[in-house]
Structure 1
Amino acid sequence: MFDIITDSACDLTLDTAKQLGIEVVPFYVSLDGEHYRKEGLEIPVRDFYQFMVDNPAAYPKTSLASIEDFEKAFRAHAEAGRAVLCLVFTGKMSGCVGSARNARDLVLEDYPDARIEVIDSAAATVTESTMVENAVAMRDAGCTLDETVTWLEAEKSTNQIFFTVGDLDYLIKGGRIGKVTGRAANMLGLKPMILFKEGEIFSGGVARGRQKSFEKALEQLMNYLDAHGGTPDDYRITVGYGYDADEGKRLWMQTRAALRAKYPGAQCEVGLLQIGCTIAVHTGPYALGMGVMRRWKKQN
């Protein structure tokens, strides 16, 4: 048996984390660039989004969980003689994996027999959450830590996110997309499609209008399933939304209906969660889309 620790970039709520029996180390959020508060603990995600909507010219920042934060978490488990699996936000967008690994090394100096495995999830938000859920399923099914690490490392490359944003201002500000391209798209009323894979953000094309961008994201998900084979039941699929919960619910319903129409014999379970601060500082308040990763299944 082993314990699971992750960071708040997975966007699982505190209640969900408690239900899953995992520990979440929070990122830090700053609305003014000076004062930082713990995501989800000292500043609710809803308040963060409201600030973004009320202050469109402001660009909040996040800061990764510190070495000390991870060390405190790891040390408690090492003292109790518990092995740890730690899944962290993609190393291509954050130094969080470095913080976690440095913290592990510090704890191992005092507890050389402790077992602390740190995995760069190459994921974020809805796909980091699905990776955590896969780890929980394996833990609860009695898989060893080695078996779990091996499977996650082999399958983490299957995680992808297909999403859109309200405009490109935040991606331009964060240097994720060129100013000329971004401003031209904004002026033409085009909705950018964003692809997250292999731990980083890429352009996924454009769509004309918000509804068309929903349809485009769903089309990209269907293409992914066609390319990778199987049915939706072989994957964990989760819809993520930003400020607008109603919009997220609509896309969730559309996604589930489309999957059930194409795969009538499958259950087509689809999760729904609110995208947290760590990704929202890059995408703005109106990110919307879905993530997918292969689902672990116990072999009979």
Structure 2
Amino acid sequence: MNSEKIAILADSGCDVPDELLKADNFYTIPLKIIYKDGDYTDKVDITAEEIYAKLPTEIPKTSLPEGSVINDLFEKIAACGFEKVIVVTISSGLSGTFNSVRLAAANFKSLEIFMLDTKNIGIGAGVQAVHAAELVNSGASFDEITQKLTDDITKSKIFFNVATLEYLQKGGRIGLVTSILGNALKLNPIISCNDDGVYYIVAKSRGRKKSLEKSVQLVKEFIGNHQKFRLVVAHGGALEEGLEIVETLKNMFPHAIEVLFGQISPALVVHTGPGLIGLGAQILD
């Protein structure tokens, strides 16, 4: 256990890499996926592939974790001897998870709990948990870590390409993304989160190929002259395209400290549908 007994708690929508989830001080708040025939726990008893298969017949809803689940997690963290907790959630502008955990945290006076609203989604939020773990392992103090995470919220950015806006619209997660003449003009929107953590359209390109090329350019612009950064690539039912983007970024940025890659969580699949590619970076200097 680290010297200050610090635990990290992130919701499942952060898409934290599997290897980090195995750490003794890491805990996950699972989001819920609701079908007419029953409820499922994100990444526990339902997979992204199962949701894709069911989308033609039913688009499920997503829900916040129950208060009892959050309370149980805090109780478990305390029982394991941790005294401080860093909570990392997807944007409060897209989900009520941050507020639900904040309310539950107020009941645990024995724990010093820091809440980080990443203003981001998916692995764009998850890299904050990755960085938190790195800082804990480096021996940084709790105060140093929380200050660094707060200062660095805007240093993570991810750009999403979705095959259709249908699922964002039906799920009520459209944010500032306005309707475009996508089908007629074959315009593919590139979506990200603004400073308030709400979806907005960054750019529009004609056709999937040009849209992905534009996204790579946006990542390059975001990185600018920074020398220390990690890259992220996420896919939703688009494995081959995702792997191609990974290779493109590795060739373009051979000095990146790493490239995180994976399938988005089932809870996020509900709102994006198949064919999603997300790519971005976290600045570390």
Identify whether the pair has TM-score above 0.5, normalized to the shorter chain: yes
State the SS of the aligned residue for 2:111.
Answer: coil
Q: Matched residues in 2 for 1:20 and 1:256: separation?
A: 31
1:132 paired to 2:109: no
> Displacement of 1:20 after TM fit?
7.4
Which among 22, 33, 38 is matched to residue 35 of structure 1?
38
**1:165-187 CA distance string (max 9 Å, x none):** 112212332341689834x2123
CA gap 1:288/1:151 in 2 versus in 1, 3 angstroms: same
CA gap 1:177/1:101 in 2 versus in 1, 3 angstroms: closer
CA gap 1:38/1:195 in 2 versus in 1, 3 angstroms: same
> Displacement of 1:70 after TM fit?
1.4
Q: Which residue pairs with 2:253 in the alignment?
A: 259
Q: Structure 2 unaligned runs (5+)? A: none
Asked if structure 2 preserves the Cα contact closer than 8 Å seen for 1:165 and 1:283, the reply is yes
Higher mean alpha-carbon deviation, 276-285 vs 139-148, is at: 276-285
Q: What count of residue pairs does the alignment treat as equivalent?
A: 278
Q: Matched residues in 2 for 1:276 and 1:81: separation?
A: 30
Which among 216, 219, 237 is matched to residue 218 of structure 1?
216
Give the alignment's TM-score, normalised by structure 2: 0.89
Give the alignment's TM-score, normalised by structure 1: 0.85
Q: Which residue pairs with 1:280 in the alignment?
A: 269
Which among 232, 235, 238 is matched to residue 232 of structure 2?
238
CA gap 1:285/1:77 in 2 versus in 1, 3 angstroms: same
1:121 paired to 2:118: yes
> Displacement of 1:35 after TM fit?
2.2
Q: Matched residues in 1 for 2:19 and 2:257: separation?
A: 24
Q: Matched residues in 2 for 1:220 and 1:148: separation?
A: 29
Which among 156, 161, 183 is matched to residue 164 of structure 1?
161
Asked if structure 1 preserves the Cα contact closer than 8 Å seen for 2:192 and 2:202, the reply is yes
1:3 paired to 2:7: yes
Summarize the alignment of residues 185-224 of structure 1 with structure 2, pairs less than 5 Å apart.
185-198=182-195, 199-224=197-222
Asked if structure 1 preserves the Cα contact closer than 8 Å seen for 2:16 and 2:129, the reply is no
> Displacement of 1:99 after TM fit?
1.1
Structure with more helix by fraction: 1
> Displacement of 1:77 after TM fit?
2.0
Higher mean alpha-carbon deviation, 279-288 vs 15-24, is at: 15-24
> Displacement of 1:295 after TM fit?
2.2
Q: Which residue pairs with 2:143 in the alignment?
A: 146
Counterpart residue type for residue 293 of structure 1: Q
State the SS of the aligned residue for 2:43.
Answer: coil
CA RMSD of aligned residues (A): 2.2
